[in-house]
Chain A
Amino acid sequence: MERQIDSEIRELKELILTMGGCVEKAIEEATQALILREPKRFAQVFEQEAKINELHIKVDETCVRIIARQGPLAADLRWIIASIKINTDLERMGDQAVNIAHNGARYLTEPPLKPLIDLPRMASEVRQMVRGCLDSFVRKDLILAEEVLSRDDVVDGYKNEIFDELRNYMIKDPLSVERSLNLILIARNLERIGDHATNISEDVIYALTGQDIRHGHVSLDEVHAQAGIPVGEHS
């Protein structure tokens, strides 16, 4: 027998997935517009952001309604709490995509500073993190969520390399400062998106296991050691 709360949680999940789709699209358009030098595509980012903002409100309303009417407990409660937090992270990812669009649009008003090599790689890594955290949420997959966490170091590595490289450009050539700064800001925006994807994965792990791994509060080993975790179990 399906409980009323099951259909409401399903509805919530669909909203979050739709929102996640918009976020993915916004990040894709923002980064591809920059990489392919197609500034017209930035408009897509703002369109997605408007949808994301609308869903942001809707997801919160749905969570409040479920808490008020269903009084969720145990795993139900953990999924609602995680959804509220995931909602915030998704909305901020959308904001970061908009920032990329602004910084990218400024960058594209001038000729290229250099061929973009690490930035597209970083963007691809970040997009995989976003996809991974959303998939882990949908499939209730602990392993997928953990994979996202491990990618965050890769993204941070790219960001540091990009910062170092552009710092050298700026030291050598004052005319490169404006463009270098724009690219540094974009790398920073991408890094923030990765951080939000990490947060989402941590929330998924909490919802699945009841363990809070943030700030090393509980280690992943302890999560694994806990009896009865549906590791990799898809439901």
Chain B
Amino acid sequence: MSKPQIELETRGLEAYFGDHRALHGISLQAEKFKLLALIGPSGCGKSTFIRCLNRLHEETPGAWAQGEVLLEGEPIYGKGVDPVSIRRKIGMVFQRPNPFPMMSIYENVASGLLLAGVKSRKELDPLVERSLKQAALWDEVKDQLKKPGTRLSGGQQQRLCIARALAVSPPVLLMDEPTSALDPISTARIEELLVELKKSVTVIMVTHNMQQAARISDQTAFFLMGEMVESGATEQIFTNPKDARTEQYITGRFG
């Protein structure tokens, strides 16, 4: 068996809000083209963790991080690394669908590309189409690309946000509870989509839905009070967790 290829890795990652340490030295590896699920009770630090992975954490006033985050072996907190360029490589989708309100479906998807300097319709059109197809939204919106993104249903809006994140071809996609605001049908569509997406993108997803993590992730990491208690193959975590706290959390004894 060949050694798994590591796409993104943290080593002793600590995150702070002022003096308060929210993450206590997390070392975790995300394998290439796999889905890593982060689980844990509210306030355990899992969202802070993924916000450190694309340098979004430091945008909060007083927030800072230390330790290493390596994308394909390159430190993203290295000197002279532009956070914006990192966010182009590590996309993010949030809990609530947040299409840009004044923009059409097309403009939403094209926005990242425009910022990256892609200007001509000739170049933009195929990229927008590809992204919407990747996000399994194309068939539903191809005849109404000029319609405002906010007119779509919740599930469609979330897929639009996924398309927007995918447009700049990031190798990694971060998702912070991407289906918690959606109904079961929309959730199922997003889950299907993620399983398809991870053939070409490495996905790291925060979820409060244990069954969701069990259904679609390859690896699972359990966070508790700013620490990573346990990580491993999803099947192992959900059938035979090693740490008693993991067992208690996933069987609903606390959290």
Please, which residues of chain A bring their CB within 8 A of the CB of B241?
74
Point out the residue from A3, A77, A209, A210 that lies within 8 Å of B253, measured CB to CB: A3
B23 to chain A, nearest CB (A): 25
Whether the pair B240, A3 counts as a contact (CB closer than 8 A) is no
Q: With A3-B252, A3-B253 given, is the CB distance from A73 to B240 under 8 Å?
A: no
Closest to A210 in B: B240
Whether the pair A77, B238 counts as a contact (CB closer than 8 A) is yes
Please, which residues of chain B bring their CB within 8 A of the CB of A210?
239-240
In the bound complex, what is the Cα–Cα distance between A228 and B247 (angstroms)? 12
In the bound complex, what is the Cα–Cα distance between A5 and B250 (angstroms)? 13
Please, which residues of chain B bring their CB within 8 A of the CB of A5?
251-252
Please, which residues of chain B bring their CB within 8 A of the CB of A135?
none
Closest to A4 in B: B252
Please, which residues of chain B bring their CB within 8 A of the CB of A156?
none
Q: With A71-B210, A71-B211, A228-B244 given, is the CB distance from A77 to B252 under 8 Å?
A: no
Whether the pair B244, A74 counts as a contact (CB closer than 8 A) is no
8 Å CB interface, A184-221 against B? 209-210
Please, which residues of chain B bring their CB within 8 A of the CB of A72?
251
B225 within 8 A of A: no
In the bound complex, what is the Cα–Cα distance between A73 and B244 (angstroms)? 13
B242 within 8 A of A: yes
A76 within 8 A of B: yes
B214 within 8 A of A: yes
Q: With A78-B239, A210-B240, A228-B244 given, is the CB distance from A73 to B253 under 8 Å?
A: no
8 Å CB interface, B204-255 against A? 210-211, 214, 238-242, 244, 246-247, 250-253
Please, which residues of chain B bring their CB within 8 A of the CB of A76?
251
B233 to chain A, nearest CB (A): 13
Q: With A3-B252, A5-B252, A228-B244 given, is the CB distance from A74 to B211 under 8 Å?
A: no
Whether the pair A75, B247 counts as a contact (CB closer than 8 A) is yes
Please, which residues of chain B bring their CB within 8 A of the CB of A74?
238-241, 246-247, 250-251
Whether the pair B251, A78 counts as a contact (CB closer than 8 A) is no
B220 to chain A, nearest CB (A): 11
Binding site for B on A (CB under 8 A): 3, 5, 71-78, 209-210, 227-228
Q: Which 4 A-B pairs have the closest CB atoms?
A: A210-B240, A73-B250, A74-B247, A73-B238
Query: Besides the contacts A73-B250, A78-B240, A210-B239, what 12 more A-B pairs have beta carbons closer than 8 Å?
Result: A73-B210, A73-B214, A73-B238, A74-B238, A74-B239, A74-B240, A74-B246, A77-B238, A78-B239, A210-B240, A227-B242, A228-B242
